[in-house]
Amino acid sequence: MKLNNHISDKSGFKVPRSYFDDFEIKSFKVQGQKSKTGFSVPEHYFEDFKVKHSKSSKLIRLNEFQKTIAIAASLLVILGTLLTGLLVKPQQPQQLDFSKISRNEVKNYLEDEIMMDYDLYLEDEQLEINLTENNVDDTNIIDNMDDGSIEQLMDY
């Protein structure tokens, strides 16, 4: 048996002293993951990993604290609302008084808003009347048609 087993006799290649004694499959696995993906973990992360059960108890304490804050805030809001109700007099709601609207205002509103729609309606009606009077001759229709429509007609 060789004393210096970290040196190969034939090739002259050598490995670090006690390399084979320290070699572990586990480290190989982690290295393998790292080299393929590029992701690494802090040193001794898996050896030191512990599930922190206290995390949940901390959460309960925080919830209790939050509950206390929420109750205190709710009480403050209720107290504030009550005090505001007592100290501030409610304003009378505004009532609509039609007698204050002048005749001119009503007339202008009718002319501007409602009659405008009526004008539009009239324009449509006139257009309809013109079409029913049969005053459009064939030449006018052909002049107003585009080339595509004429071609379509020719196909028939």
Partner 1 sequence: MEIEEEKKLISRLCSQNQADAAFAELVEVYKERLYWHIRYLLKNHEDTDDVLQNTFIKIYKNIKKFKGDSRLYSWMYRIAKNESLTFLKKRSKMLKISNEELQSHIVNNLESDVYFEGDEIQLKLQKAISTLPEKQREVFQLRYFEEIKYQDMAELLQTSESALKSNYHHASKKVEEYLKNN
CB of 32 or CB of 80, closer to partner 1: 32
Query: What track of x and - describes contact with partner 1 for positions 12 through 31 (by CB under 8 A)?
Result: -----------------xx-
156 scored as a contact of partner 1 (CB under 8 A): no
Contacting range for partner 1; rule: CB under 8 A; set: 8-16, 49-57, 70-78, 110-118 = 49-57
Minimum distance between the CB of residue 63 and partner 1, rounded to whole angstroms? 16
Angle at 10 between CA 5 and CA 15, to 5 degrees: 40
Choosing from 8, 27, 31, 33, the residue that interacts with partner 1 (CB under 8 A) is 33
**Residues 6 or more apart in contact with residue 2 via CB below 8 angstroms:** 9
55 binds partner 1 (CB under 8 A): yes
Cβ neighbours of residue 33 under 8 Å, at least 6 residues apart? 39
Longest distance between any two alpha carbons in the chain, whole Å: 123
- Name which of 13 and 46 has its Cβ closer to partner 1: 46
30 by Cβ neighbours in 10 Å (0-12 / 13-18 / 19+) ranks as: middle
Q: How far apart are CA 31 and CA 28, in angstroms?
A: 5
Of 136-155, binders to partner 1 (CB under 8 A) are none
Q: Please report whether residue 51 would count as binding partner 1 according to CB under 8 A.
A: yes
